[in-house]
Structure 1
Amino acid sequence: MTSADTRPRRRADAERSIARIVAAARASLSRDPDATVDDIAKAAGVGRMTLYGHFRARPELVEAALVDALRSGEEVLGGVDLGGDARHAMTRLLASSWALVAESAALLTAAQRVLPAGRLRDLHAGAAERVEELIRRGQQQGVYRTDLPITWLVNAVHYVLNGAAEEHRLGRLEAAQVAGVVTATVQSILAVPPPNAQVPAEPADG
């Protein structure tokens, strides 16, 4: 018969095993979005049966790795000072954000291949809300544009961060350049347009 003190030890052992597997999945998928279950099990130092005892399929494991990465990112971004002028706060936020995005770019690619788009949006909701709140404050301060939908502006920040991470991965942007490039691009997108600025009309046919 299993004693009462044996069950907590088994639960603790299981939790440590899960933590090792998730950490290995996060590291493996951050290097290679095509990392297999065998690759991850080997990196975690466990057998396939042990891994499948905790995660029934690869998508479930990929999601756990992404959740872990996002949780770590939230701990970092939660410590960023977002007070004062929204433009200065955005610069501080971007400086911390791009490195996190670069680290998880391959992991996000893996997640995009196996998780529904709606689930990915839900997982990123916290980061999107932080950017949205900062843009709204900039609009209230009169330093950020109000002529475009807020959801589009939030997505534009997201696109720039991911694009910069990809450029860095391909060696077209040095690490020392990225924060400045991201900041300049995002701030120019969010800036209040000059008076009477208009989108150029499409040329007439003919």
Structure 2
Amino acid sequence: MATDRDSVLDAAIGVLSRQPSAALDEIARAAGISRATLHRLFPGRDALVREVATLALRRMDAALDSATIDRGDPVAAVRRLADAVIPNADTAAFLTGESRLFEDNEITAAWDRMDARVCALFLRGQQSGAFRVELPAAWLSEAFFDLLAGVGWAVQEGRLAPRDSTRALTELFLGGALRKD
């Protein structure tokens, strides 16, 4: 029986987003495969983590594409963004929690490109008067992704129902980011 590489990566996201230092045995168990099979797919922990990061960033980038955040009302764009990225909240939790990723130039560059797209949304919202101008757009982007990671962790731990995730993220974020007259 062939092992589906993406399902192994999904299992790794689930484990590593909660416990970045998890043993490869634990990741293999979560994927329903042996450690030997895991090693055949990924020659070591660093290769696995890099593949997980690449998949996570690809999914987040696709979610940004589907949310069309460069169009329309910035507040509505944030809501579309939340709708699009919530299914990937566990990947955001992984990306936020895995500090070794910041040593990889390709991963960092991909993250920076994604972050720049979201920063542009918040800058556009500030220029239109929708978002607070005393909070830098780069910080708003960081706060959004950190809240998204928090949603991912809360859902995994059963502290937040998946069906409440988008509302929880958007209401909390927009409650602090919207400009108040």
Which category describes the TM-score, using the shorter chain as reference length? Answer: 0.7 to 0.9
What secondary structure, in the 3-state scheme, does the structure 2 residue paired with 1:43 have?
Answer: coil
Q: Which residue of structure 1 aligns with residue 33 of structure 2?
A: 43
Report the residue type matching 2:33 in the other structure: A
Larger radius of gyration: 1
- How far did 1:183 drift? 0.6
2:63–2:81 CA contact under 8 A, matched in 1: no
> How many Å separate the matches in 1 of 2:81 and 2:14?
25
Q: 1:48 to 1:130 in 2, by over 3 A?
A: closer
Cα distance in 2, alignment partners of residues 157 and 48 from structure 1: 33
Question: 2:15 matched to 1:27?
Answer: no
Q: Is the 8 A contact 2:93 2:150 kept in 1?
A: no
Count of paired positions: 170
Q: C-alpha offsets along residues 149-175 of structure 1, whole Å, 9 cap, x if unaligned?
A: 222211111111111221222212111
How large is the Cα RMSD of the aligned pairs?
A: 3.0
| Bigger helix fraction | 2
Question: What is the CA–CA distance in structure 1 between the aligned matches of 2:28 and 2:14, rounded to whole Å?
Answer: 11
Alpha-carbon shift at residue 35 of structure 1 (Å): 5.2
Unpaired segments ≥5 residues, structure 1: 1-16, 195-206
**Equivalent residue for 1:112, pick from 88, 91, 98:** 98
Q: CA deviation at 1:99?
A: 1.8
Shift of 1:105: 5.3
Taking structure 1 as the reference length, the TM-score comes to: 0.68
**Secondary structure of the equivalent of 1:23?**
helix
Structure 1 residue ranges (4+ consecutive) displaced by more than 3 angstroms after TM superposition: 40-51, 105-109, 118-123
Post-superposition CA distance 1:117-168 (Å, at most 9, x none): 3535434223312210110111111111111222221111111111122122
Give the letter for the 1:87 counterpart. V
Preserved contact between residue 135 and residue 144 of structure 1 (Cα < 8 Å): yes
Distance in 1 (CA, whole Å) between partners of 2:144 and 2:23 is 29
| Cα separation, 1, equivalents of 2:164 and 2:39 | 45
Query: Percent sequence identity over matched residues?
Result: 24
Query: Residue in 1 aligned with 2:19?
Result: none
Match for residue 90 of structure 1?
78
**Match in the other structure for 1:67:** 54
